[in-house]
Structure 1
């Protein structure tokens, strides 16, 4: 196996997914203390990224499942999830529930929510992956896919590390219920604006 192509795949993944570490850390912080939350977050991350890869690989072979004009509107997913999280945080605050109680009520993030955010946040990456996959052929494309899937595990470990690191964990525990909706709403708005959705 060509070491060069492995390095290229790792570099491409890192450059296009660096922001996912922050989102994962927020998800892991939200799920802290909830049984099975780590498994749900990892499963959601893999599911969302697998969907990105399916679309990118298919487009690399010439099939188009996701028209380019649709990609900016993927920003509606994290925007909606962010607004829902903000509403939940406001309701918990209004009802006088503690942060931990509010988190316990939600049981941490679910697989569909994590997958939706992962897919929406990585939707613009499809445009980067397609030409690379198309020029690499089946052999090279397979290497990229395997490297990407392995690096998702590394990203999940990094996100969990940051969420459990004492200093960061304390900050996320105190402000995570506010940071998560803010980050999701910002990501959604950014995707919509940069893509020119709704004539923005």
Structure 2
């Protein structure tokens, strides 16, 4: 195994996915009340979304152009719409939270919600991965894929660790229903604006 390629893969994964740590911490904070099942949903969704990114990148490297470059900025609509939906649900349950002595937040995120946000948030990663995959050959792509999938596990562990720290957990428990839609909407708007979608 080429350690140089491994090092490149580790560095590329860390640089292109650093923002995912915050999103994962929020998701794990939301899923915390569902126990192990909630955490597994977040992990499954993260893997599903990231595997979709890898498949799109590999197909793009092979020249099939699964996602044209002009389409990638519009992936920002996914987290934006999910954020608006989460914000609307939090607003509707506001009265219930006020009446209850201890607020009972809505159920944690589903596998598909996490996968959609992961894929949309990683849409720009495809633009980075495609040229690299196109030049490193089959063996290199295999190494990159293996390192990236291990990296997803490390990111999930780090996100859950952050979400279970007492101060972070307390903040997410109290404000998570507000933080989640804000983070999702911010991600969506950032993707749309940086990609100049709709002429922004």
Instruction: Report the TM-score, using the length of structure 2 for normalisation.
Output: 0.95
Residue 100 of structure 1: how far off its partner (Å): 4.3
Report what 1:55 is aligned to: 56
Instruction: Give the aligned partner of residue 182 of structure 1.
Output: 182
Superposed counterparts of 1:98-177, under 5 Å: 100-103=103-106, 107-177=107-177
What is the match of residue 18 of structure 1?
18
Deviation at 1:102?
2.4
What is the CA distance between 1:94 and its match in structure 2? 2.7
Does residue 83 in structure 1 map to residue 84 in structure 2?
A: yes
Q: Following TM superposition, by how much is the alpha carbon of 1:4 offset from its aligned partner in structure 2, in angstroms?
A: 1.2
1:195 is aligned to: 195
Alignment partner, residue 6 of structure 2: 6
CA drift of 1:54 comes to 0.2
Look up the SS of the partner of 1:101 in the other structure. coil
Q: Secondary structure at the match of 1:109?
A: coil
> Which 10-residue stretch deviates more, 169-178 or 149-158?
169-178
C-alpha distance in structure 2 between counterparts of 1:113 and 1:101, whole Å: 20
Measure, in 2, the Cα distance between the counterparts of 1:22 and 1:56: 24
Q: 2 CA distance for matches of 1:78 and 1:47? A: 16
Q: 5+ residue gaps in structure 1?
A: none
Runs of 4+ in 1 over 4 A off after TM superposition: 97-100
CA 1:3–1:114: 2 relative to 1, 3 Å? same
- Tell me the matched-pair count: 197
Separation in structure 1 between the aligned mates of residue 69 and residue 3 of structure 2, nearest angstrom: 32
Deviations 1:103-127 (Å, cap 9, x if unpaired)?
3xxx211010000000000001100
TM-score, normalising length: structure 1: 0.95
Which position in structure 1 is the counterpart of 2:43? 42
Which shows bigger deviation, 174-183 or 120-129?
Answer: 174-183
Distance across 2 between alignment mates of 1:108 and 1:166: 19
